[in-house]
Amino acid sequence: GKWKNKERVLIFSSRGINFRTRHLMQDLRTLMPHSKADTKMDRKDQLFVINEVCEMKNCNKCIFFEAKKKQDLYMWLSNIPQGPSAKFLVQNVHTLAELKMTGNCLRGSRPLLSFDPTFDKEPHYALLKELFIQIFSTPQYHPKSQPFVDHVFTFTVTDERIWFRNYQIIEEDASLVEIGPRFVLNLIKIFQGSFGGPTLYENPHYRSPNMHRRLLRLSVAAKFREKQQVKEVQKVKKKGSKVLLEEDPTEVVFETPAEEKPVEIQLVKPESKPIVKDKKKLRKIQRKKQKKLFRTE
């Protein structure tokens, strides 16, 4: 057959990504034979420059990984050059080498795309579904692809997030075994243009990583303040508990007072005790004197 669907996807990132993001990017390139690579983009460059890079690479789709603060990872999916484009926060990233799954698939084989029923119910999910189909599906009769279908890309909506999984189809019983990689996409915004333009949809359930970290710090501080307040209350209770009680006259009923001894006043000085010298020491001294006399004689 002829290669009619000329979809090409550019997969690259900005500077400052960590090793896990780099391995995830490499895994997506190996799973998508219709993808291309490029050098990392400088942080100072604006995002609309990516459209020119895609035109030079002859690509009409783009997956761009943007790193911020060396700990937050964002993913852009865009249709070049008209749009639309979507921005996601990537969470819970696990790469192929990290998972060590038992599944395996042919390199360059075409995948099946499986979508959650939620993608057909809401309009913004329907738009994302079409974007996922155009980006992740390998074109038929692509020169680098194999004429086999032996794995499935699943997109599931759970907890207002999109969960990506990759499974191998086993021929014997058509069961599924996970291969990897796996990650979770938290939708932020959908734009009309490519890497910008009017906002078509904004996720009301999205919470930025900075806000999440701030809430964690506030919860820890609240726990510490609560402990300090408990300590202060305990100190106040201890001070208030020291109250003098009235004497109970019945407590002395069974006490028997001890007999008082008569007081004796000595008018005469007591006799001093005789000092008893050690007899052994006296004998030693006498022996030494005798030896000295004997030597002088």
Q: What is the DSSP string of 202-216?
A: E-TT---HHHHHHHH
pLDDT tens digit sequence for 220-245: 999 999 999 999 998 888 877 666 66
Residue 191 predicted with pLDDT over 90? yes
Instruction: Give backbone dihedrals phi and psi of 189, rounded to 5 degrees, phi first.
Output: -150, 155
Residue 80 predicted with pLDDT over 80? yes
Taking a C-beta distance cutoff of 8 angstroms, is the pair 187, 88 a contact? yes
pTM (two decimals): 0.73
pLDDT band at 155 (very low <50, low <70, confident <90, very high): very high
The pLDDT of residue 130 is 94
* CATH placement of domain 9-211: 3.40.50.10480
Question: At a CB cut-off of 8 Å and minimum separation 6, what does 89 contact?
Answer: 72, 73, 74, 75, 185, 186, 188, 206, 209
> How large a percentage of the chain has pLDDT more than 90?
52
Give the integer Cα–Cα distance in Å for 184 and 91.
5
Strand partners of residue 190: 86, 201
Question: At a CB cut-off of 8 Å and minimum separation 6, what does 241 contact?
Answer: none
Domain ranges of the chain: 9-211
The pLDDT of residue 88 is 95
Residue 62 predicted with pLDDT over 90? yes
Residue 256 predicted with pLDDT over 90? no
Taking a C-beta distance cutoff of 8 angstroms, is the pair 194, 63 a contact? no
